[in-house]
């Protein structure tokens, strides 16, 4: 009797890229005429985010948007002023191996940021951001499923493994009208705003993934008495 082997194909996850790239950030900024002269810089911050990314021909390409925000007080009063500018960059990385259905996990973080006052109307901002990149894909493999002939004896064991990895993304637009309480002064000028997602819960209901979470919105503004209120 001929000896025969039967193999069965399956897919497994493979790491196609796991690295971190650095993007220098530089800005030489001259204040517009309607901004007061600089007396003291209170804070300089950078907020990086990924605008878009694509994976094609074994290469990951991504667009990075960096928001630079400088808070300072002028010579004429104690009023806080905010300078905000956006810089756009493009980066690309070669994948370490070929894979099917690649999915990229990209996390931009701030490395450092320095702000130097050249004169009362000019700022020199220098820093860097790091982008942590992890690309996971699928690769086809096979295992020995059965054998016949030659007096061979087999012990079969059932195992479970995911035959298909599902990945999806969805953008959710949130519009909310806010009002300050009666105990706080009215809003004159918005200095800073941010939104953080917290209390995230994932549930699978009727074959669908349901994600619940809370959006925590923070707002820093100036009132009529030139005091910052959060």
Report yes or no: 117 and 123 within 8 Å, Cβ to Cβ. yes
149-179, pLDDT tens digit by residue?
877 888 878 777 665 667 777 778 878 787 8
Which of 62, 66, 196, 67 is closest to 133 using CA atoms? Answer: 62
pLDDT for res 122: 93
Per-residue confidence at 228, pLDDT binned at 50, 70, 90?
Answer: low
89-126, pLDDT tens digit by residue?
999 999 988 888 888 999 999 998 899 999 999 999 99
DSSP string, 97-136: S--EEEEEEEEEEEEEEEEEEEETTEEEEEEEEEEEEEEE
Quote the Cα angle for 127-132-134, to 5°.
Answer: 165
The span from the CA of 37 to the CA of 227, in Å, is 18
Phi then psi for residue 171, to 5 deg, are -95, 130
Share in percent of the chain as helix, strand, coil (round to 5): 0, 70, 30
Report yes or no: 84 and 69 within 8 Å, Cβ to Cβ. yes
pLDDT for res 3: 79
Is the pLDDT higher at 157 or at 88? Answer: 88
The span from the CA of 187 to the CA of 126, in Å, is 32
Report yes or no: 185 and 225 within 8 Å, Cβ to Cβ. yes
- Residue 216 buriedness (CB in 10 A; 0-12 / 13-18 / 19+): exposed
The span from the CA of 188 to the CA of 228, in Å, is 10
117 pairs with which residues across the strands? Answer: 123
DSSP 40: E
In three-state secondary structure terms, 206 is coil
pTM beyond 0.85, yes or no? no
Domain borders along the chain are: 1-145, 168-230
């Amino acid at each position: 009797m001929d000896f025969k082997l039967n193999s069965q194909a399956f897919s497994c996850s493979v790491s196609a890229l796991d690295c971190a790239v650095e993007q220098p950030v530089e800005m030489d900024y001259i204040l517009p005429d309607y901004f007061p002269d600089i007396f003291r810089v209170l804070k300089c911050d950078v907020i990086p985010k990924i605008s878009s990314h694509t994976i094609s021909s074994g290469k990951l390409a991504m667009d990075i948007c960096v928001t630079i925000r400088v808070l300072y007080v002028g010579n004429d009063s104690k009023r806080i002023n905010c300078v905000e500018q956006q810089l756009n960059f493009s980066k690309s990385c070669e994948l370490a191996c070929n894979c099917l259905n690649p999915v990229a996990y990209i996390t931009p973080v701030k490395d450092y940021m320095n702000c130097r006052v050249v004169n009362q109307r000019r700022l020199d901002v220098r820093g860097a951001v790091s982008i942590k990149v992890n690309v996971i894909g699928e690769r086809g493999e096979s295992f020995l499923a059965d054998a016949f002939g030659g007096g061979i004896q087999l012990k079969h064991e059932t195992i479970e493994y995911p035959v298909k990895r599902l990945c999806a993304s969805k953008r959710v637009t949130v519009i909310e009208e806010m009002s300050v309480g009666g105990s706080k002064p009215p809003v004159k000028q918005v200095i800073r705003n941010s939104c953080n997602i917290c209390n995230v819960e994932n549930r699978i209901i009727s074959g669908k993934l349901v994600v619940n979470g809370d959006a925590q919105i923070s707002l820093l503004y100036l009132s009529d008495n030139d005091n910052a209120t959060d």
